[in-house]
Structure 1
């Protein structure tokens, strides 16, 4: 009888250790990241109430990418609040399929998909940390197609991207309308700037000389709009605040931040 009890106790303890060993690492990462998020969002003065998961908050999140790094802090996390590495990657390819159906991306063979790089960070306004968002930054490449995407951890929607490819065929007006509808907003006051000839360069990488076009417009809903832009260049295009922070090669791979 004593031997049987000892055997049962040993099996029970072993099972507990296995379960704890399996779930503890991810739980510890989530706990650490949540502490970082809570710490950044904490303020000693009463902050303006932020309505989460609303269209207005999505506008504010898009604005965080516009204001980074001048007015926004960025803290690297190990996992998001709603997605981990695996689920974020799966959700990303779901959204890629949606953008493809909208005509914003070319057909990409899902069986040959390759994620070059994926990471997640918390972005928060310096003067109002409660205005914040968690974004996944994903570099993707297949053949002559490459792109950099920002995906919102709350909704799983891509909120900014830039891509390069050998064959670029895109109607500007249709692209802006489709992108706005994808985000749940509308675009207004679209204006095209004259073609610009420039050399893109930052502290990491010198980018070769090329031409690009900028289409400025307002993105939002009701009375809540923010300035936005669509860029086209020799072998690609992109939505968002991508020009000031490009750190890749103009003719091969473009990466943001």
Structure 2
């Protein structure tokens, strides 16, 4: 009969089987939880922001109330931050910025939660593998010391197997843990930057700034077109002013 899986691991990894198994289990749990958060926070969930950008004009009291009603059931971080911003729309802009800043600090802590544990696991598990290597060599030399006959491969297999298996297990856990910790950290920082940018634009939008939500989204052609339009307007106004001056002189 085949042995149970945990018994095979125990024989291959020795005393370090349970510490390594616990590290692998924690790494798997944190990875699944972070992946679920990433999928939940996909930008496509916040379609209402694209609709606001399309209108490109400042908010009225009715539009603010309608927006708050639309996002009241939203569970994404951006929807929660916008609801917080709208609930304090009667406050000065500087006060709203402070409120949003404190809220963003809390959300950043939420996005980074658990990643320090992944980094610690990525540091500890190779050391556990190295400890297993030392214990395996000690076991191998102990068996060689009590043997009176010639050295056989069977005497070396047990100790060397423990040494190699624990080292491999530690690296197999450490590499994904460190890699995922850095990737999730980069995503969390990028997400916080996007949240801060969107909420700052919404703050300007609440303050009556037309086209605030389209800042940073104009293409080069649109910028050049707007610049040309502004130059034509300035040219026409200067011509009109000069014409009025000549008419007054005549």
- Same fold at TM > 0.5: no
TM-score normalised to structure 2 length: 0.22
TM-score normalised to structure 1 length: 0.22
- Bigger-Rg structure (1/2): 2
Larger helix fraction of residues = 2
Higher relative contact order (CA 8 A, sep 6+): 2
Larger strand fraction of residues = 1
